[in-house]
Chain A
Amino acid sequence: MSVNSNLFVIIFASAIFYGTPLVFAAVGELLAERSGVINLGVEGMMLLGAVSAAMVAANLDGPAAVVLPIALLAAMVAAGLGAAIHAFLVITLRVNQIISGLALTIFGGAAGLSSYLANVWGLGKQPAMNQFGRMDLFGLKKFPVLGPILFDQTLLTYLSWVLVVLVMVYLFRTRMGLHLRSVGESPQTADSVGISVTRYRYGHVIAGGMLAGVAGACFSLTIVPTWANGLTSGEGWIALALVIFGFWRPDLTLVGAYLFGALSSLSFTLQARGIDVPTALLDALPYVATIVVLVIVSNSRISKRLGSPAALGRPYEREER
């Protein structure tokens, strides 16, 4: 038996595979929250993205190199539109962010528009014709240990790494990133130096939604890979927890995403190995772990230094200055 079929290698490799949608969704939510807007609609936006991507993949004939980018684009547009509704309600109309976000999840969610559209379009009867397959990057797939973990993933995973690097640079090394953080920490100050709070908030909420759409597409184009009702099974909510876990930093959020990717894949990894553990216990693990990790993080010393953006959840009203 080669070292690459070692249980831990497989767990690491599937942690990255199953953690990828969490990276996209959590980094998207992080952008919105850095601008001061909580969006609890992640789960709904992911499902809207997943159903749109599945629709394109099922109905568009052509080579994968054409179909898949269009499917991703469709996912981003659909989820971005969902985010735009939330943005309009909470930024322009100053509706309570929590209730508006919940409304978005209910609207798009497993019993809402995503399920309706899938029924109307007749999706989910067969696997997607075009999928993001695993690619043997640099031909290093067979390299011991690191091969399966780093060089045998899908294009979406590699894109997520690029995204994390770009967002890190954007947030902490560019002028726009600095402006974004100031809008999230103190919109009054940002406004007084001529930064448009409204424009920054709209932009980042919608960008965050588009990334949630990509996260949804990860499910319908690689993980499942077809449409199934409610296929994200609550991962949108885990993404929200990951933003807190990662102290609103993309790099730490990526670590958290892979931790939860490992937990959510553990059930069938162990089963495939014939290791007998009650499935209910393993299925519940990611959810219980989210709670435990959240309690620890919320009470740690670091969270006082690296806490949430100060204006998170508060609408900005100019006349209140």
Chain B
Amino acid sequence: MSFLTLENVSHLYFSKQNYTKALSNISFSVKEGEFISILGPSGCGKTTILSVIAGIIQQTKGKVHLKGKPLDQSTMAIGYMLQQDYLFPWKTIIDNVLLGPKITKQNDEELKQKAIDLLETVGLEDVALKYPDSLSGGMRQRVALVRTLITNPEILLLDEPFSALDYMTKLTLEDLVFALLRDYQKTAILVTHDIAEAISMSDRLIIMDTNPGTIAQIIEIPIELRNERPFLVRRHPKYQKIFDKVWHELNKYEQNFDQKGSV
């Protein structure tokens, strides 16, 4: 049985003048522990898919099932990481991390210790009582990761979480997130426009076309690449071939996008 299934999901955004079809008949499924990346030109509805799965927006049509249950009946914790860290500047790091438990009203000492342990796991020590403004971008994104993991989510939704970071930090964090997700056996969906990042982190790639957002192609990553650290995947002999293939596909839809855009 699939962990997460989307069945003919469509979504419309309405405005006074018109409507935009952001998603059209999106169907795919994700197995437990799998890492999926969604790649596509801007405006293809990548973020909308994540928002639907997170339950932040309600899809216009179609069904989403989590572990066999319709989404609105599922009580499963979902972790959502955004492009920027969105740490609350008026809260200390530890209070930021414990935000999820606070919302679900389960604050206790045990969780606090777990938060401190998790912060250490991502290489952050003695930051608990500091405020976000004294941390660097990479450190802040790590705190955001811990904030997402503390609620013990069974699925992680990553919305371009590395795109605002400098290249060095990005590579380090990719390795860290990859290792953590493997260790904790988490299922994850990554939305990105970075081909290298998608290939090096995922098991499967979903390539999307735009206007309306549809799935154009699903590409399996070879097993040899799946288990390597993202940093090493980029040097793997098979990497370049996959990269070229994805590049070619994306280029096709990018041009498509330009043409449609001009209509």
A and B associate: no
